[in-house]
């Protein structure tokens, strides 16, 4: 029987084991940092404020890739009843009253810093996360629709129908109110992009830019500094996280 | 001072049977609607993602503010010490409980998740007027229960004034809270701070009119003779409150019209060809304000019990229509997200949203009315809420030194 001899002195052992250690831990540390990700048990941080910049110059009337992507991502079905069907994101056509010039804009929850929906919700089901995302707690929403009454952007929908085959990452339920959640599941996975922004980029329009408003080095912060942008209904003082360019 | 009125426990009769059958049938309709909506979802209603509050909310708010207003009759006797109303105090408090229960029931059963009522009762966001209203409504029940106890227990009659004053303050706060549901909507042009006083005035008017309807029924169905003194008092109250509601309505529209950005909404509501304009001028102003005033000032009709009943029914109809206009039109009118642009989308931006109440909403609302009626019938059959006689002779004898 052949005997194996371990030719490893103390110096070699320390050197090799430390290399192994570094090569195991480093990617995790490095990529996590790169991805702004965080562990699932770690709470969202107020150091980050997620937001969007929508460049209406790049958005075209005939394209609804963002809407389709959102519906697919969250399993939003069309029941053929347009007045009650859910819409998290919609395309609005705006025509200038004077010049008659038309522009197309995606409209969704604006993720206000001071959201009226959170103020009026009797049970606190409507809430704002530390990273600025406005969400509905599906366990405590009683379906009173007061948030829908109060939203200045008509961004919320009430689930009027029985739902089947829901997606595990996007739980929804009849009788609750819901709205754009900035693809919170993707953020929590470290993907840090939304389905609508991805679809828009894929279609080559680049009209939707998602990012951290608090990070001065992020693309969105740089563009916000460079171009004139607008907050919808800025007169209400809600400080929205979704801004528009070209309006 | 001790209450010298004679009260009775109402016995089973044809009138009670009829009233009971109607009440239970309405509850049946309400239950059917609730179960269907709970099973199928709200798409069966006329409500949608644009008009999110519909006819059930009109019924609910109508009943809730009427509950607050109907307690006014008890307040007049115990707070303002006008003794002629004393025999009506117990009924007034009972009816307040009945109407509030009916209204809340409609509100709760219309929720998307009525099964989570316990969440609403245990998890509060105190920045929400809804959360405050939960305390105002449940507190109101407790205050009235104590108020009734003081009225029923002869030894405690002396405290009626103090408890009555507290109940008075509570119900004004309660109606303010209900009106503020609309006053606190930052983005909707239709609503402003005047919602609260308008709701208080409307509550007094609705309460008086509904109370008179009950008195008339007691006279015809239970044999509790209604004297001309009470009739004349209710006539005067109706006149005062019709004018108050009308005054605040005019004030609200004039204030809104003064602000240029509100012109479009005001023209939509007051001078366009739509259901709300029709309801406003024909329903609220014509049938709900002018016609009752004509009746109440008519020489012959103003002295007849039937005439005042007719005026009361018209006033109730007008008040209901008024709430319908306030609640629905403000939602049907589109939000202006981008001033200076014409807006359109698949989500009904920039257009007046259509709303037609479905039969399920009518049934749910009537269910609330049925619950109010059923509690009333049950209560007057087990406790002595009902004065035996309300003719002039009894009222003056039982409560001497009548304040004019």
- DSSP of B115-146: GGHHHHHH---TT-HHHHHHHHHHHHHHHHHH
State the residue for tokens 């009762």. Answer: B121
State the residue for tokens 């609302």. Answer: B365
Task: Output the six-digit token pair for B368.
Answer: 């609330």
The pLDDT assigned to B403 comes to 46
Which of B43, B341, B347 minimises the CB distance to A154?
A: B347
Residue A90 distance to chain B (closest CA, Å)? 7
- CA separation for the pair A96, A118 (Å, rounded): 32
Cross-strand bridge partners of residue B5: none
B127: closest chain A residue by CA: A119
Query: Residue B354 CB: number of other CB atoms within 10 A?
Result: 13
Report A:3-22 residues touching B (Cβ under 8 A). Answer: none
pLDDT band at B10 (very low <50, low <70, confident <90, very high): very high
pLDDT in tens, A234-244: 999 999 999 99
Query: Both A65 and A158 in a single domain?
Result: yes
Mean pLDDT (whole number) for B13-18:
94
* More confident of the two residues A9 and B253: B253
Q: Which residues of A touch B114 (CB under 8 A)?
A: 142
Q: Which residues of A touch B112 (CB under 8 A)?
A: 141-145, 158-159, 174-177
Report A:70-99 residues touching B (Cβ under 8 A). Answer: 79, 81-87, 90-98
Yes or no: say if B338 and B308 are a contact pair by the CB < 8 Å rule: no
Mean pLDDT (whole number) for A148-154:
97
pLDDT band at A34 (very low <50, low <70, confident <90, very high): very low
pLDDT band at B67 (very low <50, low <70, confident <90, very high): very high
Query: Both A32 and A117 in a single domain?
Result: no
B51: closest chain A residue by CA: A149
The pLDDT assigned to A7 comes to 65
Which of A97, A118, A146 minimises the CB distance to B130?
A: A146
What distances in angstroms separate CA B296 from CA A67, A158, B94, B237, B312, one per listed residue? 59, 46, 27, 11, 10
- Write out the residue range of the structural domain in which residue A73 sits: 50-245
CB within 8 Å: A94 and B184:
no
| Signed CA dihedral, B58, B61, B66, B72: sign only | negative
Q: Is residue B2 part of a domain?
A: no
Mean pLDDT (whole number) for A90-115:
96
What integer best gives the mean pLDDT of chain B? Answer: 94
- Write out the residue range of the structural domain in which residue B324 sits: 7-335+349-395
Query: Both A80 and A169 in a single domain?
Result: yes
Residue A148 touches chain B, beta carbons under 8 Å: yes
Query: Both A30 and A55 in a single domain?
Result: no
Yes or no: say if A146 and B181 are a contact pair by the CB < 8 Å rule: yes
Q: Is residue B342 part of a domain?
A: no
Yes or no: say if B237 and B85 are a contact pair by the CB < 8 Å rule: no
Q: Is residue B44 part of a domain?
A: yes
Q: Which residues of B touch A159 (CB under 8 A)?
A: 41, 112
Residue B55 distance to chain A (closest CA, Å)? 14
Q: Is residue A172 part of a domain?
A: yes
Q: Is residue B135 part of a domain?
A: yes
Q: Is residue B402 part of a domain?
A: no
Mean pLDDT (whole number) for A191-211:
95
Task: Output the six-digit token pair for B265.
Answer: 């909404």
pLDDT in tens, B148-173: 999 999 999 999 999 999 999 999 99
Query: Both A12 and A122 in a single domain?
Result: no
Phi-psi domain of A16 (left: phi exceeds 0; alpha: psi -120 through 50; beta: other): alpha
CB within 8 Å: A94 and B341:
yes
Tell whether the model's pLDDT for residue A32 goes beyond 60. no
- CA separation for the pair B60, B292 (Å, rounded): 24
Helix intervals (H) in chain A: 10-35, 65-74, 116-120, 146-150, 184-188, 195-202, 219-226
The pLDDT assigned to A221 comes to 97
Tell whether the model's pLDDT for residue B5 goes beyond 60. yes
A96: closest chain B residue by CA: B341
% of chain A at pLDDT higher than 70: 90
Q: Which residues of B touch A140 (CB under 8 A)?
A: 116, 119, 123
Tell whether the model's pLDDT for residue B53 goes beyond 70. yes
Using DSSP bridges, classify how beta strands A242-245 and A50-55 pair: parallel, antiparallel or unpaired.
parallel
Cβ-Cβ pairs closer than 8 A, A with B, add up to: 169
Determine the residue among A67, A84, A112 to mutate to test chain B binding: the one whose Cβ has the most chain B Cβ atoms within 10 Å.
A84
What's the complex ipTM? 0.92
* Structural domains in chain B (count): 1
State the residue for tokens 């709200």. Answer: B42
Query: Both A153 and A216 in a single domain?
Result: yes
Residue A61 touches chain B, beta carbons under 8 Å: no
Cross-strand bridge partners of residue A89: A108
The pLDDT assigned to A65 comes to 97
Q: Is residue A44 part of a domain?
A: no
Return phi, psi of residue A112, to 5°. Answer: -60, 150
Q: Which residues of A touch B340 (CB under 8 A)?
A: 96-98
* More confident of the two residues B146 and B259: B146
Q: Is residue A187 part of a domain?
A: yes
pLDDT in tens, A158-170: 999 999 989 999 9
Query: Both A74 and A154 in a single domain?
Result: yes
Cross-strand bridge partners of residue A209: A53
- CA separation for the pair A49, A130 (Å, rounded): 8
Angle at B333 between CA B286 and CA B191, to 5 degrees: 75
User: Which are the contacts of B146, defined by CB distance < 8 A and separation ≥ 6?
Assistant: B163
CB within 8 Å: A159 and B112:
yes
Query: Both A76 and A123 in a single domain?
Result: yes
Query: Residue B225 CB: number of other CB atoms within 10 A?
Result: 15
Torsion (CA) B311, B313, B314, B318 in degrees, nearest 10: 130
- CA separation for the pair B2, B67 (Å, rounded): 26
Cross-strand bridge partners of residue B7: B387
The pLDDT assigned to A26 comes to 65
The pLDDT assigned to B402 comes to 44
Cross-strand bridge partners of residue A92: A105, B345
Q: Which residues of B touch A86 (CB under 8 A)?
A: 49
- CB hemisphere CA count around A239 (13 angstroms): 7
CB within 8 Å: A175 and B112:
yes
- CA separation for the pair A138, A142 (Å, rounded): 9
Residue A52 touches chain B, beta carbons under 8 Å: no
The terminus-to-terminus CA distance of chain A in angstroms comes to 82
Query: Residue A135 CB: number of other CB atoms within 10 A?
Result: 19
Which of B40, B187, B341 minimises the CB distance to A233?
A: B187
Query: Both A33 and A63 in a single domain?
Result: no
* More confident of the two residues A7 and B36: B36
Residue B39 distance to chain A (closest CA, Å)? 8
Which of B127, B338, B345 minimises the CB distance to A90?
A: B345
Query: Both A72 and A127 in a single domain?
Result: yes
The pLDDT assigned to A27 comes to 60
The pLDDT assigned to B404 comes to 41
What integer best gives the mean pLDDT of chain A? Answer: 91
Q: In what order do the strands lie in the sheet with A229-230?
A: A208-212, A50-55, A242-245, A229-230
- CA separation for the pair A216, A221 (Å, rounded): 6
CB within 8 Å: B337 and A152:
yes
Torsion (CA) B294, B295, B301, B305 in degrees, nearest 10: -160
- CA separation for the pair A205, B114 (Å, rounded): 44
Q: Is residue A24 part of a domain?
A: yes
CATH number of the structural domain spanning residue B327? 1.20.1630.10
Which of B113, B114, B184 minimises the CB distance to A176?
A: B113
Mean pLDDT (whole number) for B374-389:
96
Which residue from B371, B103, B111 is spatially nearest to A146, judged by alpha carbons? B111
- CA separation for the pair B324, B269 (Å, rounded): 12
* Structural domains in chain A (count): 2
Yes or no: say if B163 and B150 are a contact pair by the CB < 8 Å rule: yes
Q: Is residue A45 part of a domain?
A: no
Query: Both A239 and A215 in a single domain?
Result: yes
Query: Residue B291 CB: number of other CB atoms within 10 A?
Result: 17
The pLDDT assigned to A38 comes to 66
- CA separation for the pair B27, B21 (Å, rounded): 10
Q: Which residues of B touch A121 (CB under 8 A)?
A: 125, 128, 130
* More confident of the two residues B330 and B192: B330
Cross-strand bridge partners of residue B344: A93
Query: Both A180 and A240 in a single domain?
Result: yes
CATH number of the structural domain spanning residue A98? 3.30.70.20
Helix intervals (H) in A59-115: 65-74
Query: Residue A238 CB: number of other CB atoms within 10 A?
Result: 21
Radius of gyration in angstroms for the set of CA atoms belonging to chain B, rounded to a whole number: 22
Residue A236 distance to chain B (closest CA, Å)? 8
Query: Residue A8 CB: number of other CB atoms within 10 A?
Result: 10
For residue B185, give the 3-state DSSP assignment: coil
Q: Which residues of A touch B346 (CB under 8 A)?
A: 82, 87, 90-91
Q: Is residue A42 part of a domain?
A: no
């Amino acid at each position: 029987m052949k005997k194996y001899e371990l030719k490893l002195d103390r110096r070699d052992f320390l050197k090799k084991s430390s290399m192994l250690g570094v090569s195991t831990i480093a990617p995790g540390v490095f990529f996590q940092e790169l991805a702004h990700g965080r562990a699932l048990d770690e709470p969202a941080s107020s150091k980050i404020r997620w937001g969007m910049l929508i460049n209406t110059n790049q958005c075209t009337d005939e394209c609804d890739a963002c809407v389709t992507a959102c519906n697919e991502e969250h399993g939003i079905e069309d029941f053929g009843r347009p007045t009650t069907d859910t819409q998290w994101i919609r395309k609005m056509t705006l025509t200038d009253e004077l010049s008659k010039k038309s522009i197309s804009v995606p409209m969704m929850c604006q993720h206000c810093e001071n959201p009226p929906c959170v103020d009026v919700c009797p049970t606190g089901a409507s809430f704002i996360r530390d990273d600025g995302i406005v969400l509905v707690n599906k366990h405590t929403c009683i379906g009173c629709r007061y948030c829908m009454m109060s939203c200045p952007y008509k961004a919320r929908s009430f689930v009027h129908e029985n739902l089947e085959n829901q997606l595990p990452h996007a739980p929804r339920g009849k009788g609750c109110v819901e709205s754009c959640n900035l693809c919170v599941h993707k953020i929590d996975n470290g993907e840090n992009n939304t389905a609508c922004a991805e679809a828009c980029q894929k279609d080559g329009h680049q009209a939707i830019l998602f990012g951290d408003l608090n990070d001065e080095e992020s693309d969105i912060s740089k563009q916000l500094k460079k171009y004139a942008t607008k907050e919808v209904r800025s007169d209400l003082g809600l400080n929205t996280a979704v801004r528009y360019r070209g309006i | 001072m001790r209450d010298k009125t004679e009260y009775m426990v109402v016995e089973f009769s044809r009138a009670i049977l009829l009233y009971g059958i109607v009440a239970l049938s309405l509850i049946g309709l309400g239950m059917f609607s609730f179960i269907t909506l709970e099973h199928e979802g709200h798409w069966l209603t006329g409500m949608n993602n644009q008009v999110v509050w519909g006819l059930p909310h009109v019924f609910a708010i109508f009943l809730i503010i009427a509950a607050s207003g109907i307690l006014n009759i008890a307040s007049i006797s115990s707070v303002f010490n006008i003794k002629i109303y004393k025999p009506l105090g117990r009924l007034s408090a009972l009816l307040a409980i009945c109407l509030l229960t009916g209204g809340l029931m409609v509100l709760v059963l219309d929720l998307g998740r009525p099964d989570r009522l316990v969440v609403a009762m245990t998890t509060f966001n105190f920045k929400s007027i809804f959360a405050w209203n939960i305390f105002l409504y449940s507190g109101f029940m407790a205050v009235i229960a104590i108020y009734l106890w003081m009225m029923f227990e002869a030894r405690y009659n002396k405290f009626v004034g103090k408890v009555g004053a507290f109940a008075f303050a509570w119900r004004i706060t309660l109606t303010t809270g209900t009106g503020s549901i609309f006053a606190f909507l930052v983005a909707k042009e239709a609503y402003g701070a005047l919602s609260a006083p308008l709701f208080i005035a409307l509550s007094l008017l609705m309460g008086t009119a509904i109370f008179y309807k009950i008195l008339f029924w007691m006279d015809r169905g239970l044999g509790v003779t209604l004297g001309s003194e009470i009739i004349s008092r209710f006539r005067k109250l109706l006149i005062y409150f019709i004018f108050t509601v009308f005054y605040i309505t005019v004030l609200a529209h004039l204030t809104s019209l003064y602000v240029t950005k509100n012109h479009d909404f005001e023209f939509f509501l007051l001078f366009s060809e739509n259901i709300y304009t029709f309801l406003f001028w024909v329903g609220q102003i014509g049938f709900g304000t002018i016609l009752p005033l004509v009746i109440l000032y008519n020489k012959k009709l103003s002295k007849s019990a039937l005439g005042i009943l007719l005026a009361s029914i018209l006033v109730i109809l007008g008040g209901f229509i008024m709430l319908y206009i306030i609640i629905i039109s403000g939602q049907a009118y589109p939000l202006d997200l981008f001033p200076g642009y014409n807006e359109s989308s698949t989500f009904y931006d920039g257009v007046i949203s259509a709303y037609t109440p479905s039969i399920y909403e009518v049934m749910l609302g009537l269910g609330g009315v049925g619950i109010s009626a059923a509690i009333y019938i049950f209560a007057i059959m087990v406790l002595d809420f009902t004065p035996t006689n309300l003719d002039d002779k009894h009222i003056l004898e039982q409560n001497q030194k009548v304040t004019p």
